[in-house]
Amino acid sequence: LALVFAGDGTPAGNYGYTNSGYSVYEEENERLTESLRTKVSAIKSLSIEIGTEVKNQNKMLSEMDNDFDSAGGLLGATMGRLRTLSRGSQTKLLCYMMLFALFVFFVLYWIIKLR
- The mean pLDDT values, 10 residues at a time, for the chain of 115 residues are 50 52 88 96 96 96 92 88 72 83 93 86
From residue 114, give the alpha-carbon distance in Å to each of 57, 102, 108, 109.
43, 19, 10, 9
Task: State how far Cα 85 lies from the chain centre.
Answer: 46
Which amino acid is it at 24? V
For residue 78, the model assigns a pLDDT of 87
For residue 32, the model assigns a pLDDT of 96
CB 42 within 8 A of CB 35: no
Using alpha carbons only, give the angle 14, 18, 24 rounded to the nearest 5 degrees.
125
For residue 22, the model assigns a pLDDT of 80
| Coil/strand/helix, residue 5 | strand
Q: Global pTM?
A: 0.46
DSSP class of 2: -
Closest CA to 94 of 104, 82, 79, 106: 82
